[in-house]
Amino acid sequence: MSFVKQVQNEEAPELVRRIFEAGQKQYGLVFNNWRVFAQSPELLRPFAQFIGAVTSPIRLSKRTFELAVLKTSLLNQCNY
């Protein structure tokens, strides 16, 4: 259960819905932190652009990228 409200696709404004669709297309899902940031589309847009900039030039396979995210989360003792 989430303690912070997450914007779902059905309730998302048009701008947020387009960002969600782009995330779904690129990553295969919409990350939970995107759903939280979507409460403020002015915050979500630059955050999504940042994530796109960080991930696109690296050209890692999806598996390698996910392993790097998992390892980073473990090192930071994240429960996510």
Spell out the per-residue pLDDT of the chain, length 80, in tens: 668 889 999 999 999 999 999 989 988 999 999 999 999 999 999 998 888 887 776 677 889 888 988 999 999 988 76
Task: Report d(CA 52, CA 77) in Å as an integer.
Answer: 24
Q: Which amino acid is at 10?
A: E
Name the token pair of 66: 């996910």
- Report pTM: 0.65
Cβ(23)–Cβ(31) below 8 Å:
yes
The tokens 């390892």 sit on which residue? 71
CA distance 75 to 8: 30
Distance, CA of 34 to chain centre: 4
